[in-house]
Amino acid sequence: MSAPATDSTAYSPRQNDVLDSALRLLVEGGEKALTTAGLARAANCSKESLYKWFGDRDGLLSAVIEFQARKVRVPAEAEGLLNAAELRQRLEEFARELLAVLASDASLALNRLAIGQASGEGARLGRLLQERGRRGIGRRIEALLEAARDAGLLAFDEAGEAYATLYGLIVTDQHLRWLLGEKPDAASFGPRAEKAVAAFLRLHGI
């Protein structure tokens, strides 16, 4: 859909390679590992090029976040559900995906980066991450919830609030624990997703 001609974020293949190296450094060693000299060495480019392309270190960090957000872009859901079993299945799938995304190395690294920057600074990266990442997912699932309500399968006042409840039931404090260094256990995603959706349906199902 969106032509790659969106000039604001038009990065050449070479620049995308560099951003890929930057993300890898970030995942492996955190913000401290993402130095201009280190990135230049890892990506076989010159520091001068980095400053030419991204302005300064902050621009580089923002570019990495946008780079990753662009990769995660999920295609819109096919809009053809309707019975209760299908809704449950959709929600469980969403829950598993959400847990997998939040537990991924890249997501954790970028969230850690943005959270580290949020102190003292104006939370630029935090807003960026919020806007590019969670917001998209939220809009998508809220649309699903509203469709289900129109079909008489769910009851709630406000989609945003219902989504917040669903999110809380799925994620609880796992995300924070992962951010603090706990290792994710992918095998637990499935059961957790099922339980969370069951609780959600008990709260908002018809």
Contacting residues toward a copy of itself, per CB under 8 A: 26, 28-33, 109, 111-112, 114-116, 118-123, 126-127, 129-130, 134, 161, 164-165, 167-173, 175-177, 179-182, 195-196, 199, 202-203
CB of 114 to DNA, least distance (A): 16
CB of 105 to DNA, least distance (A): 21
Alpha helices in the chain (DSSP H): 13-29, 36-43, 47-54, 57-72, 84-103, 105-118, 124-129, 135-150, 159-171, 174-179, 189-204
Stretch of residues binding DNA (CB under 7 A), selected from 29-37, 65-73, 84-92, 152-160: 29-37
CB of 11 to DNA, least distance (A): 10
Specify the residue, 48 or 131, whose C-beta has the smaller distance to DNA: 48
Specify the residue, 129 or 148, whose C-beta has the smaller distance to a copy of itself: 129
Dist CA 41 CA 25 (whole Å): 11
Show the site string, 87-106: x = touches DNA by CB under 7 A, - = not: --------------------
Buried b (16+ CB within 10 A) or exposed e, 51-60: eebbeeeeeb
Residues 9-28 contacting DNA, CB under 7 A? 12, 14
Extract the tokens encoding 83.
Answer: 């019975």
CB of 95 to a copy of itself, least distance (A): 12
Q: Which does 36 bind (CB under 5 to 8 A by kind): DNA, a copy of itself, none?
A: DNA
Show the site string, 47-66: x = touches DNA by CB under 7 A, - = not: xxx-xx---xxx--------
Type of residue numbered 81: L
3-state secondary structure (DSSP) of residue 205: strand
Dist CA 16 CA 21 (whole Å): 9
Buried b (16+ CB within 10 A) or exposed e, 118-152: eeeeeeebbebbeebbeeebbeebbebbebbbeee
Q: Which residues bind DNA (CB under 7 A)?
A: 12, 14, 32, 34-38, 40, 44-49, 51-52, 56-58
